[in-house]
Chains A and B, each alone.
Chain A
Amino acid sequence: MKQVVTLTVNGENCQALAEPRHTLLELLRDGLGLTGTKEGCGDGNCGACTVLLDGRPVNSCLVLALEAQGREVVTVEGLARNGALHPLQQALIDHGAIQCGFCTPGLVMAAYALLRDNPHPAEPEVRMAIAGNLCRCTGYDKVVRAIMAVG
């Protein structure tokens, strides 16, 4: 039986229908058409589906859609303001930190949360903050450098 979920996504109030077995990831992608958030594994091991839930980075494949009722979600689509990229997004581009780009949306959200709480992280802090975000293309080198270069 589908239920109505009311939540805030990227600052806008949204409503979508969801079954109890649907995940927040499915609600975002299929219910709201926000396909920027990716599914890489579906069991919380790759981090491609990372979004902010009430400000905290979570794997949206491990959150039930109905749990998002009344809560605030920020996805990769919500960082750029008036067409201007967030400095983190720009840094990833400038440092060549993007290859296939499939891990990028989740990585952006994890790094965004890190930089919000710790604007000048040291290398080990950056590596730990994105340890839940698997990337197979870059070897993490340029990703870590890009995140450290923000701010």
Chain B
Amino acid sequence: MSAKFIGERLPRVDAPDRVTGRAVYAADIHLPGMLHGRVLRSPHAHARIKRIDFTKALALEGVKAVVTSADLPPMTGEPILVRGEIELNLNHIRQVALAQDKVLFHGQAVAAVAATDPHTAEDALELIEVDYEPLPAVLDAEEAMRQDAPLIHPDQYTHTHEGNLDRPSNIAATYTFGRGDVEEGFREADVVVEDTFRTRVVHQGYLEPSAAVAQVEPNGHITVWASTQGNFSLRGQLASVLEVPSSRIKVVPVEVGGGFGGKLNTLLELPAVLLSRKTGRPVKLVMSREEVLRATYPAPATVITVKAGATREGSLTAIYMRAVFDAGAFPIAPVVAAYFTGLAPYKVPHLKFEGCEVVTNKPKIGALRAPGAPQASFAVESQMDLLAEKLSIDPLELRRRNAAEEGDPPPVGRPFNRIGLQPLLEQVARHPAWTAPLKGTHRGRGLALAFWPGAIMPSSCHLTLQDDGSFSLVLGSVDLTGTRTVMLQVAAQELGMDPSQIRVSVGDTDSVGHTEVSGGSRITYTMSAAVHRACMNMLEQLRERAAAELEVDAGELEYEAGTFRSRTSPEKQLSLADLGRQSLRRGGPVTATGTTTRLQSAPAFAAHVVDVEVDPETGQVKVLKYTAFQDVGKAVNPTQVEGQIQGGAVQGLGWALMEGYQFSDSGVLQNATMLDYKTPTATDVPFIDAVIVEVPASDGPYGIRGVGEAPIVPPLPALANAIHQATGVRLRELPMSPEAVFMALQKARG
């Protein structure tokens, strides 16, 4: 095949629409007769709802309907929705969307109003009377674990590997994993370090506030336009909670203004559907930024202890990790991920993990880019540097001596297939980012590693030969940042066509096969395999048709750049345009589908190196230089790969240095604006040098590995390690804000 599109820096096909304002996001949808909704939210972190009276609200001119959880059918089915690797408890999801009996965090949705315009809906909220019986709130996970703590879910019994415990508790679940005997491992060690690390709740910070439009037809059919990472997942969640067959719900794709894991669970779609059902008109709901920060699905606060031992020669002997994840108002937190991501880079004979997830009266936590991994690696990678220091071994050298290789057992699961950690670290060792001396005072250099296993789950596409000889490729996945472009590259490569001859779009849930969420760094890996299959199938069919038309044996035909030609009689040839036209007269349309369900995992490793300068007078940490190395398997589009790495690294820098939820004693978020919940601006960061390493994955058509998750992980510990080198002070709590750094410096000075 002559054309080469894999590895090319093709510009984003959807970019012209985005730079001109033509791209349509959910809040841009306007339908005839559309109403606007607003959500009433809880003023308490924990309270019983005794009565809701919305008669006055309904009397306001322009108000068309009010809905509460009483408008939802009672949950009769199995509440756990398991799709691939994702587990959702719909009984919890629906209560986050509309509280039932109790409110469990400040800002939780209690009711929703539809009116002729958003301001009227907002005015109506003040007319809804809710009687609350305030209950004692518990906000700190470690306090919530105490036996005398107020119970958030009186019917919650701690789930353990040996079954449920027999007393109600705020500890939703405990997990234990390990191998070997850590006590033996620590006895073999010459040096043992042990410390505890704390992180706060942080938000994904997507720029587009959550938004949804719902239209319910008189026959009950539901159409939804939503800012979601998974159209099919959303459909499944709505179907289960509304007790409607999923075939009666159509989710129509719109552009999504960032998700990062925060737009996986249904929120506004439920009240939007209920309001549309009640009024018979389409209803749009859009969150304010304050609502986004108070009442969506941020990432969990954690307390993680890591004890690690190594021999004098720098061989790790044992690691013990204890992790407490604050799940917020409802359980399911990425506790186990702390273990299987944080410790994955290392060969360690003896491992032990004890983890638990605890509920508190805070927003229910969700996924954020490599969920669980940044918090874990903050602890593990800080301890690796401490071990290196105590052993007088270079921090990179210590990591290289213990770095996992193909065939090594990860903390859980089967031995690694092909991985690129050692080649990655070789690159770091040779790169000026690591080898160039760092001059100047109050400066330090930090290194940290990251691992992400890469999610799999089904992906589907639908490929059609058009009657003009071009192709339509319809994808089932939400295109967050470039899927259409990358899949265009795959299709152009396999079909031997110019990209201008292939139109790629995202299909609605009626038009293409089930495709799981765009998350977990899975889409490029799994969808490229699906598109590859569809292309292979398409070419097979076309070959048969061409053979019949040309009256030659199919095996005699060669295909290149849109033309089938007989090898023996080259004058016998047929173009795709000919085949497209003929498909209208005989044979019928030519279509192919591609679906992937089972691929091997394609594990990804990253290593970041950062140089900082710390102002001893203010505690301000200035990032001087940042280099991010990552094994991406194969970069289908290097520009987009770099963009993922750069964006992830800066998101991690924000987590490390400036971001964190601050709650009042009564559970009210104190920094619910983008001014007070500060994320990095262009002046806070330098250029991010992305170094692409390509060690092909064991499976998939091109050796691709997922890219998006890993880059958010290393900045947390890399910054801590750099600050330590610059100042001698070790920070074990995030964010490492100027105030925190200054206080730590003060303490160190005595």
Contacts and interface: CB of A to CB of B under 8 A. Distances in A.
A43 interface: yes
Nearest to B687: A141
Interface string B248-267: 00000001111010000000
Contacts of A103: 207
A101 to B, nearest CB: 3
Interface in B172-211: 204-209
B205 A136 contact: yes
Given A35-B24, A37-B21, A42 B11 contact: no
Given A93-B12, A96-B643, A98-B12, A43 B21 contact: no
A67 interface: no
B643 A137 contact: yes
B598 interface: no
Contacts of A7: none
A92 B685 CA distance: 19
B673 A104 contact: no
B15 interface: yes
A46 B256 contact: no
A136 B494 CA distance: 33
A128 B681 CA distance: 9
A131 B643 CA distance: 19
Contacts of B673: 41, 43, 45
Contacts of A33: 30
Nearest to B293: A41
Interface in B516-547: none
Contact of B258 (A29, A79, A102): A102
B258 A45 contact: no
Interface in A93-151: 93-96, 98-105, 108, 124, 126-128, 130-145
A75 B21 contact: yes
A89 B679 CA distance: 25
Contacts, number: 182
A9 interface: no
B206 to A, nearest CB: 6
Given A39-B27, A45-B675, A131-B682, A79 B20 contact: yes
Given A37-B21, A85-B19, A144-B687, A139 B646 contact: yes
Chain B, interface SS category: loop
Contact of A96 (B12, B204, B209): B12
Interface in B544-580: none
Given A21-B119, A131-B683, A139-B650, A93 B257 contact: no
A39 B255 contact: no
Contacts of A21: 119
B650 to A, nearest CB: 3
Given A19-B119, A38-B25, A85 B20 contact: yes
A76 B639 contact: no
A75 to B, nearest CB: 7
A142 B289 CA distance: 26
B682 A43 contact: no
B640 A96 contact: yes
A127 B685 CA distance: 9
B347 to A, nearest CB: 32
B623 to A, nearest CB: 11
A80 interface: yes
Interface in B9-53: 9, 11-12, 14-25, 27-28, 30
Contact of B682 (A40, A136, A137, A140): A140
Contact of B23 (A41, A101, A128): A101
Chain B CB count within 10 A is highest, among A19, A48, A135, for: A135
A96 B11 contact: yes
Contacts of B482: 99
Chain A CB count within 10 A is highest, among B21, B28, B643, for: B21
B208 A100 contact: yes
B62 interface: no
A143 B23 contact: no
Contacts of B119: 19, 21
B266 to A, nearest CB: 20
Given A33-B30, A142-B642, A104 B18 contact: yes
Contacts of B646: 138-142
B481 A43 contact: no
B480 interface: yes
B688 interface: yes
B208 A102 contact: yes
Nearest to A48: B207
Contacts of A43: 289, 673-675
B649 interface: yes
Contacts of A35: 21, 24, 27-28, 30
A132 B15 CA distance: 22
B423 interface: no
B518 to A, nearest CB: 11
A45 B260 CA distance: 20
A108 B19 contact: yes
B288 interface: yes
A126 to B, nearest CB: 7
A92 B258 contact: no
B156 interface: no
Interface of A: 19, 21, 29, 33-43, 45-46, 48, 75-77, 79-80, 85, 89, 92-96, 98-105, 108, 124, 126-128, 130-145
11 contacts: A19-B119, A40-B208, A43-B674, A96-B643, A105-B21, A128-B682, A136-B258, A136-B679, A138-B650, A141-B642, A142-B643
Interface of B: 9, 11-12, 14-25, 27-28, 30, 119, 204-209, 255-258, 260, 286, 288-289, 480-482, 639-640, 642-643, 646-651, 673-675, 679-683, 685, 687-688
Given A36-B21, A102-B208, 15 more contacts: A21-B119, A39-B27, A41-B209, A41-B674, A79-B20, A85-B16, A89-B20, A96-B11, A99-B481, A100-B208, A100-B256, A136-B647, A137-B481, A138-B647, A140-B680
